Each structure stands twice: as C-alpha cells, then as structure tokens.
A and B are shown apart, each in its own frame.
Chain A
Amino acid sequence: DVKVTQSSRYLVKRTGEKVFLECVQDMDHENMFWYRQDPGLGLRLIYFSYDVKMKEKGDIPEGYSVSREKKERFSLILESASTNQTSMYLCASSAGTGFSYNEQFFGPGTRLTVL
C-alpha cells in the first residue's frame, strides 16, 4: 500500500525559530512535493524535487528551503518562522519522469502554528 508519512501532525513554534518538516515515502517515487493549504487559497506549491539533490521552486518558495539527500526523504525548512507561515503543510510524491503527469500521493499533513 502506498505510504507517505510526515514527521508531525501538529507543531507549534515561535517566531524566528528554525523549523524542519520531514516527509518520507516508501514507493520509490522520483518526484516529491511540498504544498501549503490555506482557506480560500487552496493548495499552493512551495518546492518540488524530481531527483535526489535536485529541487525546483514552486509558486511560493519565499521563506522556505528544501533538502533531498535520499530518494525517499524530502525535508522542508523554514529558516526563520513567521506568523504568516502558520498553515497546513502537505507533502506528496509521484512516480515517473518527464512532463507526463502521474498521480500524486499525499501525506496526512502537518498543521504548523507559529506564535
């Protein structure tokens, strides 16, 4: 069974803290994604990676960085958390290469609150 896991379901951090969100997939997928989901705005892509050590900016990369040292793991880093980064963060993975889209499988999400 397809599985994407995220390190925490709920996280509370203070402004200025460095925050790490971890995502692991067990499907040997090439592609991994980080989204945030906010009411009225939907899912917005922060970063994605199509291979180990490769990353591409999504639509809203400012204030975030990512790391993909192993194929199964994709980390999202908030270098200095701010209150406007309070959100639901969703990780996803998909198989395949090239421009043909393949189904994305999502993790359960991390609800991050920055105080």
Chain B
Amino acid sequence: RKEVEQDPGPFNVPEGATVAFNCTYSNSASQSFFWYRQDCRKEPKLLMSVYSSGNEDGRFTAQLNRASQYISLLIRDSKLSDSATYLCVVNSGGYQKVTFGIGTKLQVIP
C-alpha cells in the first residue's frame, strides 16, 4: 500500500460548484498534513496546513480524520483559477521529510 494515496482525477467541475478531494495515508504515526497546489508547468506551493480541528481559508476547508486516516480538501464556489493539481503531503515524523501524493487534478469549466 502506498504511504499517501490520492485519486489522480481529473475532476471536471463547473464554475460555482463545490468539490472535495480525499487523501488517505498509511502510517498511523503521521504527525503533520498539508495541501499543496501545483499549476500546470509550475512548482508546488503550500495551499494550507491541516490541523486536527480542521481549518478554513476563504473558500477552502481542510479536515483531518485520524481514525480513518484521511485528510480532505473542500473547495466551495469553484473559480476557473482553481484549476490545478492538488497535492496531499504527509509528514511521518522523519526529520523535515514528507511524502507527497501523486496529486488530484482539478479542471474548473466555464
């Protein structure tokens, strides 16, 4: 089983839709969780951290479910500019070392 698993998509959604991605992780000792965003032909950039209590940043909400070992990202009122690949990132306690998922591609359609 892969350490971090994501559905690669693509998820094609109309503007204004709500879309959610899940990411599962295999190591129950994992400490920290993040979502990165990668635009086409660009480098990944941190979107948001995922806290045990969940966190929200505008239209984006990230949640952690430790019992089922997954994190989620919810995007409300999708914009064309949200089109990108969303990478799930998990830190399992190794020194500064993280594991990236393969990413979920989102395409927001006009």
Inter-chain contacts of A98 with B (CB < 8 A): 95
Instruction: List chain A positions with a Cβ less than 8 A from chain B.
Output: 31, 35, 40-45, 48, 50, 56, 58, 90, 94, 96, 98-104, 106-109
Interface residues of B in 23-80 (CB under 8 A from A): 31-32, 34, 42-46
Say what secondary structure dominates the interface of chain B. loop
Q: Is the CB of B96 within 8 A of A43?
A: no
**A-B contacts at CB below 8 angstroms, number:** 52
Complex A-B, nearest 10 residue pairs according to Cβ-Cβ distance, in ascending order: A42-B102, A106-B43, A43-B100, A101-B91, A103-B46, A101-B32, A31-B96, A42-B100, A106-B44, A108-B43
Number of residues in B with C-beta < 8 Å to the partner?
A: 22
Inter-chain contacts of B99 with A (CB < 8 A): 45
Q: Is the CB of A41 within 8 A of B96?
A: no
Please measure, in the bound complex, the distance between the C-alpha atom of A58 and the C-alpha atom of B94, giving whole angstroms: 11
